[in-house]
Structure formats: C-alpha cells, structure tokens
Amino acid sequence: MFVSFFNNQFQNNSKLSFQGKDGSIKYIGNTVVKSFHSERQQEFTTERDFLTFLTNAKFPNSPKFIKTEGNSITMEKISGQNLLDFLPAATKEQILWTKEQILKVAKNLAKLGVFHNDLNRANIIIVKDTNNIPYKVVFLDFADAKKVKSLDTTQLADDMMYKKHLTPILDVFLSKAK
C-alpha cells in the first residue's frame, strides 16, 4: 500500500493521515493505523494474520502488530528510509550489504513459511539501528503475503528477489555508486 511512503516522508510528524483508493493511513505517535476499505477485506485479513504471526514469532524485520478495530490494523511505526529513496545516495558497500540483508530477511521469512509476495523498493525500509550495524532492513505491507508449507528457502528467497526485479534494480544502482 502506501505505508512506506509516509514512513519515509513524514516520520517526524506526531499525527498525519492519508486517504487513498485502498484505504487510509494515520500516524499517531509511535503507531500507524492502516485502515482498509470494505472491498479490501481479504487484504485486511491477510495483513492482520501475518503481522500477528510475525509478532508472535518475534520476527525482528517487520512492524509489530498492536491491535485491530473494525477494518483497521494498528502497528508499530517504522522510522526509516524506504529502499527507493535510500539507493540513490548509497555507496557500493552499502548497496552490497543491503542486497545481502534483503536476501537474509527473505530467507528468514521463508523459514517461517511466509512468502511476502509484494517485495519491492517501497516495501523495504532501511532503519539506522546501532544493534544491527550499519542498519536494519524491515519489510512492510504483508497484505499480499502467502503461507507456504513445503519450500526450498534458498530458491524461495531468490524468487522473491527476482520476481519483483529487486536484484536488477540494486545492480543498476551498484554500477552507478561510488
């Protein structure tokens, strides 16, 4: 959806809202309330279920689920920069490290039996985090995620990278980086 855009553009505001064709986003303090239009019930259910699952599994690379009310999900606000905005100023070393971290997070999701299914530059947030030097990679927007039972985690993670053209995009920025 549009959570990552607002995380990146307006992370310093204590209260902000945005209405779009799929629903709305409201930032209230350290939380995000993502509301879905009634015709988006499936996406709401999917995102709620996966965020709950990942929070209970203590998965460190996704927003923490807080609660639901109606067709709204309240989750942890992730303050950082989406991959789309991070890449142009990144060094070669940062891009290589980011590429490795994205693959690592995708593999860790796959080990939990989760296929993100919409991994793109807007749904990946780069968070400066002293515990994960130089930074931490967080995936957003699990509304299209799929649960898988039997999988080859390496192949699944590789498919996630190539399916949405992340690797070619990272490689283009890598070729231009200092």
User: Mean pLDDT throughout 83-106?
Assistant: 87
What is the chain's Cα-based Rg? 16
Q: Is the pLDDT of residue 9 over 70?
A: no
Q: Indicate whether 90 and 138 sit together in one domain.
A: yes
Q: How far is CA 133 from the centre of its chain?
A: 19
Residue 177 is predicted with a pLDDT of 74
Q: Supply the CATH number for residue 24's domain.
A: 3.30.200
> By CB neighbour count within 10 A (0-12 exposed, 13-18 middle, 19+ buried), where does 153 fall?
middle
Q: Would the pLDDT of 15 be above 50?
A: no
- Give the count of domains, the chain: 2
99 and 167 in a common domain: yes
Q: Give the domain extent around 72.
A: 3-76
Ranges assigned E (strand) in the chain: 15-19, 23-28, 31-36, 65-69, 72-76, 81-82, 114-115, 124-128, 135-139, 146-147
My answer on whether 60 and 39 are in the same domain is yes
Residue 104: the pLDDT is: 86
Same domain? For 65 and 137 the reply is: no
pLDDT above 60 for 38: yes
52-77: average pLDDT: 95
Residues 46 and 107 in one domain: no
Same domain, 92 and 156: yes
